[in-house]
Amino acid sequence: MYPFPVFLFLTILCLLGSTADAIGVNWGTMSSHPLPPPKVVELLKSNEVSKVKLFDADPLVLQALSGSNIVVTLGIPNSMLKTLNSSRKAAESWVHDNVTRYFSHGGAGVRIEYVAVGDEPFLQSYGDQFHPFVIGAAMNIQATLTKANLAGEVKVVVPCSFDTFVSESGRPSKGHFRTDLNKTMIELLTFLSKHHSSFFVTISPFISFQQNKNISLDFSLFKENAHHHNDSLRTYKNSFDLSYDTLVSALSKIGFPEIDIVVARIGWPTDGAANATSSIAETFMKGLIDHLHSKTGTPLRPQNPPIETFIFSLLDEDHRSITSGNFERHWGVFTFDGQAKYHFNFGQGTKNLVNSQFVEYLAPKWCVVNNNKDLSNASASALEACSTSDCTALSPGGSCSNISWPGNISYAFNSYYQQNDQRADSCDFGGLGLITTVDPSVDTCRFFVELQTSHSTSAHEAYIFPRIILLLACLFSCLLGFKW
């Protein structure tokens, strides 16, 4: 018989082991009316998601995650990189306020596994805006974690975008890093390998499909019958493997063929572009999860799949930038209000996705165009409404692209009205707007009703929950005799 503590230790080891290759999810909060963090944590738990990647370190989010046992990647926004590069003190404050204060191995705090320095700071469209500060910022954060005795548990990473590596011929063996990043990538990889950290990267079969005529939809969706791509003697059966091995070649070329890869972001959007639909996304996700679970790896890394994978994304976000496409606001596996878009599971069992329960919406009211008015100027009002609200569903290929005029004007009016918490004056439009309690949704085109938030009406729930958790956390640590 093992003595009890040894037994406990072994049990914990087993529990940790079982989550080692689990599939995580990105939780972004660029929403006008975000689902309250405690609700999101509930959603993660009911779907057995054991790892989450954040884009910042929002205190309400971290409070909600406290005691949940969900493993967390914190994010540092690009806008902070310049300061964190030039000031060790700023790095110390960031780590103190956002890591040390919450860190724990379980129990009442937050299980922080990685700090992600920047959010795809090398994206080509950013130019040199963030690129020069990344390595310096990462080093300052690393030095601070070391000083705080956390470096053994919390690893520093830099999420790299899908466009950091390329292969002009489309052949994975010819993959290399973008030439403007040569020096930076060598510095980054040297840094990561010195600290036994991993290479975080976005793989985007959706964008490969959009941008490259050689990549078919079937090849992107892991379909058996897809036309294969050959590279010398290697055969590629899907777009994921092709991109992954292009990256592996790029890493090998600068001398890091063995570094661990984490797929920090992968998904398929469901609106705002052609072929961005829920049914295609479902096929993609099922194909991806099956592929990861098979552990076959890729031709260049057989039996050696990514050590971790984070689905992008948990929820739709109506404030995400649409500079790279209208689909950007529709990456969620769940809609903005936590409802599953399709059938799929994160790989822990056979059941389907579980929706968010008891979501609090604004009143069932919509704003539409008043058909009895002269609508000759309505289009201008609609354009203005869309400039500050989300009309991406109206774009070509989108779920509302088929509704005819003036239905599309109504859609724009409603988006603006919901965005403004259904304030009566936000459905005016020079007398062209009309508030209705009849749902104007048609076919695939959903006229949404926004969520209640603290700035709309009584969103008491958002505040009470973290307090209860904090209270429980305090109780727990008192019982265990910890000092804060």
Catalytic residue annotation:
120
Closest of 20, 19, 57 to residue 37, by C-alpha: 57
Q: Binding of ligand NAG at residue 399 (CB under 6 A)?
A: yes
Binding part of the chain for ligand NAG, among 45-53, 150-158, 357-365, 377-385 by CB under 6 A, reads 377-385
Kindly state the DSSP code that residue 132 receives in the 8-state scheme. Answer: G
Binding part of the chain for ligand NAG, among 200-208, 333-341, 350-358, 374-382 by CB under 6 A, reads 374-382
Least gap, CB of 10 to ligand NAG (angstroms): 37
Contacts of 353 (CB under 8 A, 6+ apart): 47, 333, 334, 340, 342, 343, 344, 345
What distances in angstroms separate CA 217 from CA 141, 206, 212, 332, one per listed residue?
A: 41, 9, 11, 20
Sheet bearing 111-117, strands edge to edge: 155-157, 111-117, 71-76, 51-54, 23-27, 308-311, 261-266, 199-202
Is 414 near ligand NAG (CB under 6 A)?
Answer: no
Q: By Cβ distance, which residue is nearest to ligand NAG?
A: 170
Please report how close the Cβ of residue 386 comes to ligand NAG at its closest, in angstroms: 6
Distance CA 420, CA 451 (A): 11
Query: What three-state secondary structure class fits 428?
Result: coil
Q: Which of 196, 228, 293, 295 binds ligand NAG (CB under 6 A)?
A: 228
Residue of the chain from 32, 68, 78, 98 that contacts ligand NAG (CB under 6 A): 98
Of 210-218, 313-321, 416-424, 459-467, the window that binds ligand NAG (rule: CB under 6 A) is 210-218
Number of Cβ atoms within 10 Å of the Cβ of 371: 10
Q: Which stretch binds ligand NAG (CB under 6 A): 186-194, 209-217, 332-340, 451-459?
A: 209-217
Nearest-approach distance from CB 2 to ligand NAG, in angstroms: 42
Q: Which of 443, 330, 452 is nearest to 391 (CA)?
A: 330
Tell me if 327 contacts ligand NAG by CB under 6 A: no
182 touches ligand NAG by CB under 6 A: yes
Residue from 18, 352, 371, 402 binding ligand NAG (CB under 6 A): 402
Contact 409, 391 (CB under 8 A): no
CA angle 373, 375, 380 (to 5 degrees): 135
Q: In this complex, which beta carbon is closest to ligand NAG, that of residue 18 or of residue 402?
A: 402
Check binding of 217 to ligand NAG (CB under 6 A): yes
* Of 7, 9, 405, 463, the one binding ligand NAG by CB under 6 A: 405
The residue range among 114-122, 292-300, 354-362, 397-405 that interacts with ligand NAG, by the rule CB under 6 A, is 397-405
DSSP-derived pairing of the beta strands 199-202 and 176-177: unpaired
Measured CA to CA, the distance from residue 355 to residue 40 in angstroms comes to 10
Give the bridge partners for 361, in sequence order.
Answer: 451
Residue 212 within binding range of ligand NAG, rule CB under 6 A: yes
**Segment contacting ligand NAG by CB under 6 A, of 239-247, 321-329, 352-360, 376-384:** 376-384
Beta strands in 193-307 (DSSP E): 199-202, 229-231, 234-236, 261-266
The site string for ligand NAG over 296-315 (x = CB under 6 A, - otherwise) reads: --------------------
Close Cβ partners of 188 (under 8 Å, ≥ 6 residues apart): 134, 135, 138, 158
Site for ligand NAG in 131-170 (CB under 6 A): 132-133, 136, 169-170
Tell me the CB-side half-sphere exposure of residue 133, using CA atoms within 13 A. Answer: 26
Residue at token pair 């990685």: 114
Using CB under 6 A as the binding rule, whether residue 230 contacts ligand NAG is answered as yes
Residue 275 is a binding residue for ligand NAG (CB under 6 A)? yes
Q: Which of 4, 17, 20, 179 binds ligand NAG (CB under 6 A)?
A: 179
Least gap, CB of 61 to ligand NAG (angstroms): 9
173 binds ligand NAG (CB under 6 A): no
Whether residue 280 contacts residue 268, with contact meaning beta carbons closer than 8 Å, is answered with yes
Candidate residues 86, 173, 441, 456; the one interacting with ligand NAG per rule CB under 6 A: 86
Tokens of 378: 């309505």
Task: Pull the structure tokens for residue 324.
Answer: 């790279």
List contacts with ligand NAG (CB under 6 A).
Answer: 56-58, 85-86, 93-94, 97-98, 132-133, 136, 169-170, 179, 182, 212, 214, 217, 228, 230, 235, 274-275, 374, 376-377, 379, 382-383, 386, 394, 397, 399, 401-402, 405, 408, 412, 444
